[in-house]
Amino acid sequence: MPLKNKSKLGLFVLGFSLLFIGFIAGKKANEISPAMISGAESLIGMEFSPAEKDSMIQNLTNQRNGFERMRDQKLENATAPALYFNPLPHGFIPDQVQKPHGWGLSKDLQLPADDTDIAFLPVSDLAVLIQNKKISSERLTKIYLERIKNYSDTLQCLITLLENEAIASAKAMDAEIAQGKYRGPLHGIPYGIKDLLAVKDTKSTWGAMPYKDQVIDETATVVEKLQDAGAVLVGKFTLGALAMGDVWYGGVTKNPWNLKQGSSGSSAGSASAVSAGLVPFAIGTETLGSIVSPSTRNGVTGLRPTFGRVSRHGAMALSWSMDKLGPISRSALDNGIVLSIINGLDTKDKSTIAAALNYDASKSIKELKIGYFPGLFEGEGLENDRKVLEDLKNLGLTLHPLELTTSMPIASLRFILVAEAAAAFDDLTRSNSDELLVAQHKNAWPNIFRSARFIPAVEYIQANRHRSILIEEIHSLFQEFDVIISPSFGGNQLLITNLTGHPALCLPNGFTENGSPTSITFLANLFEEEKLIMLGRAYQDHTDWQKKRPPLFDK
């Protein structure tokens, strides 16, 4: 059975659509024949003899009947496969010993007189002000609620405002402070979440018309953890429908720096709201760039944690082996503080891995061995990225060049995400409810889900075997380096590190000539986010890009 690269679209459509059209339309397919197999084999790049085709007919018929029987049993989006992705290379065990956090916060700060100045303060400053009783959680929460009510329509970034619940929570946090109880740096700090996280008694729309009135009777683990830490949930923000882009059923979420431009996605509302000072931090998710891309577009700081560090229980599933939850905020330090709360093993999410997060502000960045991919910094439009290298050298750091090389067919592995996403929304496709989604172009979910029906199970498994080798190869890079610097969208590093589960910190590093924010990405080994926070904090202390405010919202 020689492998052949056949690419005639007519054969693809004729063969496999005849074989599987009954699957998608929900109708019984025609009797399977050798002629149908002849067309179908072109789609998978294989060729079988007439005798082999004849022998397959009964097996294919049995398989199709089995598929139809399975479809009689409804599967919820939250039901994960029995196969769980583990990003750990051979012999690698994350640090399990959790030490006290050493955030190195200011001892005392003065409260700004202007509410706008307060709204744009980082979590690290707000925490000190609340602990020292220079501002109440109730007042702070009302500042953000007022800004949300003033600006969220302009930005099209809000799905659900939780005003009454937020004020009640803030008052409770103030009462605890008055009684001498302090839960930590998130005590009384308002925040928002991407609306693919469930909160009991609120809608979880996933940004998509078919789910716009959906209520899930549970609360996501990350929200419960933030609540236990004293954080105050003020709203649920938009996402591109089913976690892609910035187009949702209510419009297009806007970039506060340029209202003619979408905020990118899929954590569109979370990044837009933080950028415009509607909340000091928000929770986003990333499968393939959904924290990095909107953080870049909106000029904020996003942290994509290691796969398995943060529970996804209560979150919409897109790709069970690639989805990750993380914070978007004003600074690397803020993201570290939030990550320390949402981090941890969760019995409700079998993909979580126990690991410590030991950040210590007293440690010197001189202890870090830092690498960079010089080939990715070459070319036009990368001046801000090259300036980051200069800034780090000015901090007394030595940067070591290295190559981002792998023997794996990286671009080919992207269909792992597509196959899992199509499975996650199988019912949407088969019921034709995908027609309700706003985006219907060739690169939108409906067409992607339909096309994914033709990915062979064998090739999906083969891709994950290649992925196992990729994990080992990328892990070897981090045996020599603590942090590696890369342009955020340089080469194929974004796809590689999302496939391998490595953490990434995306930081603003300037603006283009037309005033659009740009970003740089710091990468670290699995479960070593504290090194990203160390270097990110040092870089942001040395520069001030994270302090820039969109002029239209600086009032």
Contacts of residues 163-167 at CB distance under 8 Å and 24 or more positions apart, as own/partner, are 163/234, 165/233, 166/141, 166/190, 166/232, 166/233, 166/234, 166/235, 167/138, 167/141, 167/142
pLDDT over 50 (residue 17)? no
CA–CA separation, 478 and 371 (whole Å)? 9
CATH superfamily of 115-406+466-553: Amidase signature (AS) domain (3.90.1300.10)
CB 413 within 8 A of CB 499: yes
pLDDT, position 8 = 39
In 3D space, the residue among 186, 187, 188, 120 whose CA is nearest the CA of residue 151 turns out to be: 120
Name the residue ranges covered by the structural domains of the chain.
1-73, 115-406+466-553
pLDDT, position 4 = 37
Task: Kindly report, residue by residue over 321-359, the tens digit of the pLDDT.
Answer: 999 999 999 999 999 999 999 999 999 999 999 999 999
> How sure is the predictor about 309, in pLDDT bands with cuts at 50, 70 and 90?
very high
> How sure is the predictor about 42, in pLDDT bands with cuts at 50, 70 and 90?
confident
Joined tokens for residue 554: 């600086």
pLDDT over 60 (residue 307)? yes
> How sure is the predictor about 30, in pLDDT bands with cuts at 50, 70 and 90?
confident
DSSP 161: E
pLDDT over 70 (residue 398)? yes
Phi, psi of 326 (to 5 degrees): -160, 170
Query: What CA–CA distances, in Å, run from 276 to 208, 249, 533?
Result: 24, 22, 23
What number is the average pLDDT over the span 485-493? 97
- Helices 9-25 and 50-71: angle between axes, nearest 10 degrees: 30
